A = this chain, B = another copy of it.
Amino acid sequence: MKAEILTIGDEILIGQIVDTNSSWIASRLIKENIKISRMISLSDNKEQMLEIIHQSLERSDVVIITGGLGPTKDDLTKNVLATYFNSSWRWDDNVLKMLEERFNNRGKHLFELNKQQAYLPDNCITIFNDRGTAPGMFFQKNKKLLFSLPGVPYEMQGMIEDSIIPSIKEHFEISPVIFHHFLTINVAESVLAKRLSSIEDNLPEHLKLAYLPHINTVRLRLTCNVIHPKEDRTMFDDIVKLIKSALGNDLITEEDISFEEYIFKILKEKGKTISFAESCTGGLISARFTQIPGVSAVYQGAVISYSNEVKNKVLGVPDDLLKNYGAVSPEVAKAMAEGCRKHLNSDYALSVTGIAGPDGGTDEKPVGTVYIGISSSNGTQTNKLFYPAQRHRIMEYSMLSVLNLLRLVLNKE
A residues near B, CB below 8 A? 11-20, 22-30, 35-43, 48, 52, 154, 210, 212, 275-276, 278, 281-287, 289-291, 293-296, 299-307, 309-310, 313-314, 343-345, 357-359, 390-392
Contact = CB atoms under 8 A, between A and B. Distances in A.
B26 A39 contact: no
Nearest to A282: B290
Q: How many copies does the complex hold?
A: 2
Contacts of A18: 18-20, 23
B294 A299 contact: no
A14 B30 contact: yes
Contacts of A390: 154
Contact of A40 (B14, B40, B293, B343): B40
A313 B316 CA distance: 13
Contacts of A289: 282-283
Contact of A300 (B36, B154, B294, B307): B307
B300 A303 contact: no
Contact of A303 (B15, B19, B314): B314
Contacts of A307: 296, 299-301
21 contacts: A12-B23, A13-B39, A14-B30, A14-B35, A15-B22, A15-B27, A16-B27, A16-B210, A18-B19, A18-B20, A38-B41, A38-B48, A40-B40, A283-B290, A291-B392, A301-B304, A301-B310, A302-B304, A302-B306, A303-B314, A310-B345
Contacts of A391: 291, 293
A15 B19 contact: no
B43 A37 contact: yes
Contacts of A11: 212
B38 A40 contact: yes
Nearest to A22: B41
Contacts of A48: 37-38
A12 B25 CA distance: 11
Contacts of A29: 15
